[in-house]
């Protein structure tokens, strides 16, 4: 999915003649913390709510142009770039421009989150297993083979580093909820199963709650 395909038609823009109070009112109405400033279809930058809150509400945005942020993504790049920018700058929307810096539109944070959920498989039904391992030991073919021996398939796989612990993790989405047999297989092959979420987890929680209730009633 390209950035231009996720543009929201409802996010407004500001111009240099708008006042601080007008900009703040629009941000409040549309529940955003930034808005793009545009002049003659050219993107001038992003103005932040925090900067406006510390300014004279009667002042025009033109007097604050030194505070504009130039952050933006290009229309024809992959949406993951917008996700990265969203995280890096703590944005509620991401402006989209073309090669000539012409303003195309803005992508809302919620739309990026939804698309990311589709791409990572988070929105698809099934179980999830997270493995912790040495990066040099990572082999997709081996992981896939172990899952398939249990009559299941990997529908999504993502690997990432945890910089806080310097650990390498592999998150595997499985096309079924009952994953206890797959977890057991990974453990049998000495994989470190860090987390797993599936049907058996909820069944175990239900059993534990039931046991606690029975123990309470027997007191």
Q: State whether 26 and 88 are in the same domain.
A: yes
Q: Could you give the percent of the chain with pLDDT greater than 70?
A: 89
My answer on whether 26 and 65 are in the same domain is yes
Residue 199 has what pLDDT? 66
Domain-ending residue, one of 117, 142, 171: 117
The predicted model gives 186-205 an average pLDDT of 78
> Are residues 8 and 102 both part of a single domain?
yes
Residue 216 lies inside a defined structural domain of this protein: no
The CATH number of residue 191's host domain is 3.30.70.260
Q: How far apart are CA 171 and CA 203, in angstroms?
A: 22
C-alpha span between 17 and 12 (Å, rounded): 15
Looking at the fold, whether 12 and 108 belong to one and the same domain comes out as: yes
Q: Quote the pTM value.
A: 0.72
Q: Which domain holds residue 132?
A: 124-203
Structural domain count of the chain: 2
pLDDT value at residue 207: 52
- Name which of 33, 63, 30 is nearest 46 in CA terms: 33
Which pLDDT score is estimated for 213? 57
Residue with tokens 């994989």: 191
pLDDT in tens, 95-108: 999 989 999 999 99
Q: Which of residues 214 and 22 earns the better pLDDT score?
A: 22
d(CA 14, CA 18): 7
* Cβ-contact 130, 171 below 8 angstroms: yes
Residue 5 has pLDDT above 50, yes or no: yes
pLDDT at 168 over 70: yes
Within-domain flag for 52? yes
């Amino acid at each position: 999915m390209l950035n231009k395909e996720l543009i929201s038609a409802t996010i407004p823009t500001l111009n240099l003649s708008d006042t601080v109070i007008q900009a703040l009112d629009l941000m409040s109405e549309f529940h955003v913390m930034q808005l793009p400033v545009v002049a003659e279809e050219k993107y001038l930058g992003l103005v932040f709510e925090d900067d406006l809150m510390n300014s004279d509400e009667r002042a025009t945005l033109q007097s604050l142009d030194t505070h504009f942020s130039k952050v933006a993504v290009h229309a024809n790049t992959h949406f993951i770039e917008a996700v990265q920018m969203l995280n890096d700058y703590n944005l509620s929307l991401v402006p989209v421009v073309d090669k000539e810096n012409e303003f195309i539109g803005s992508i809302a944070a919620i739309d990026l989150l939804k698309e990311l959920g589709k791409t990572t498989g988070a929105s698809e039904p099934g179980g999830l297993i997270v493995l912790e391992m040495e990066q040099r030991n990572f082999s997709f073919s081996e992981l896939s083979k172990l899952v398939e021996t249990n009559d299941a398939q990997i529908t999504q796989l993502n690997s990432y580093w945890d910089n806080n612990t310097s650990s390498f993790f592999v998150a595997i989405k499985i096309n079924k909820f009952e994953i206890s047999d797959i977890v057991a297989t990974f453990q049998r092959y000495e994989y470190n199963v860090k987390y797993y979420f599936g049907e058996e987890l909820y069944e175990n929680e239900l059993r534990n709650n039931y046991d606690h209730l029975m123990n309470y009633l027997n007191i």
